[in-house]
Amino acid sequence: MGTSTAHSTASGSDSAVRLRSRRNRPRRSGRSIQAVWARRRGVTRPSVAPRVDPRYGGAVTAGTRDLLLIHYNEVALKLGHRSMFVGRLVENVRRALGGLDIGRVESNAGRLLVDLGRAPCEEVLERLAVVPGIANVLPVVVCERSIEDLEAAVDRHLRTWRPRGSFRVEVRRADKTFPLKSPEIGSRIGARIAAATGAPVDLKKPDDVVYVIVLADRIYLGMAGKVEGCGGLPVSTGGRVLLLLSGGIDSPVAGLRMMCRGCRIDAVHFHSVPYLDGTSRRKAEQLSRVLARGQAGLRLSLVAFGDLQREVVRSVPKPLRVVIYRRLMMRIASRIAELDHAAALVTGESLGQVASQTLANLTVIEEAASRPVLRPLVGMDKLEITRSARRWGTYEISIVPDQDCCTLFVPRHPATAARLEEVAEAEENLPVGEMVEQAVAARERVQIEPAWGVPPAELAAAV
User: Comparing C-alpha atoms, which of 179, 181, 199 is closest to residue 190?
Assistant: 199
User: Comparing C-alpha atoms, which of 60, 211, 210, 63 is closest to residue 145?
Assistant: 63
Going by the DSSP 8-state scheme, the letter that residue 47 receives in this structure is: P
Going by the DSSP 8-state scheme, the letter that residue 417 receives in this structure is: S
pLDDT tier at 65 (50, 70, 90 boundaries)? Answer: low
* Per-residue model confidence as pLDDT tens digits over 427-447: 998 999 999 999 999 999 999
Q: Which fold has domain 240-461?
A: Rossmann fold (3.40.50)
pLDDT for the residue 304: 94
Going by the DSSP 8-state scheme, the letter that residue 180 receives in this structure is: S
Please, what's the b/e burial string for 168-188 (b: 16 or more CB within 10 A of its CB; e: otherwise)?
bbbbbbbbeebebebbbbbbb
* Per-residue model confidence as pLDDT tens digits over 95-115: 999 999 999 998 877 889 999
pLDDT for the residue 189: 96
Stated pTM of the model: 0.81
Q: What is the DSSP string of 311-370?
A: HHHHHS-GGGHHHHHHHHHHHHHHHHHHHHT--EEE----TTSSGGGSHHHHHHHHTT-S
d(CA 443, CA 441): 6
pLDDT for the residue 144: 92
CA atoms within 13 A on the CB side of 106: 10
pLDDT for the residue 278: 86
d(CA 371, CA 347): 12
* Per-residue model confidence as pLDDT tens digits over 137-151: 999 999 999 999 999
40-49, 60-69, 410-419, 436-445: lowest mean pLDDT where? 40-49
Phi-psi region of 194 (alpha: psi -120 to 50; beta: other; left: phi over 0): alpha
d(CA 419, CA 424): 9
- Asked if the domains at 8-228 and 240-461 fall in one CATH topology, the answer is no
d(CA 207, CA 412): 54
Instruction: Give the residue extent of every domain in the chain.
Output: 8-228, 240-461
pLDDT for the residue 353: 66
In this prediction, residues 341-365 reach a mean pLDDT of 88
Cβ 185 vs Cβ 147: under 8 Å: yes
Please give the class, per CATH, of domain 8-228: alpha beta
Given a cut of 90, whether residue 374 has pLDDT beyond it is yes
Share of the chain above pLDDT 70, in %: 84
* Per-residue model confidence as pLDDT tens digits over 209-258: 999 999 988 899 999 889 999 999 999 999 999 999 998 999 999 999 99
Given a cut of 80, whether residue 12 has pLDDT beyond it is no
d(CA 305, CA 408): 10
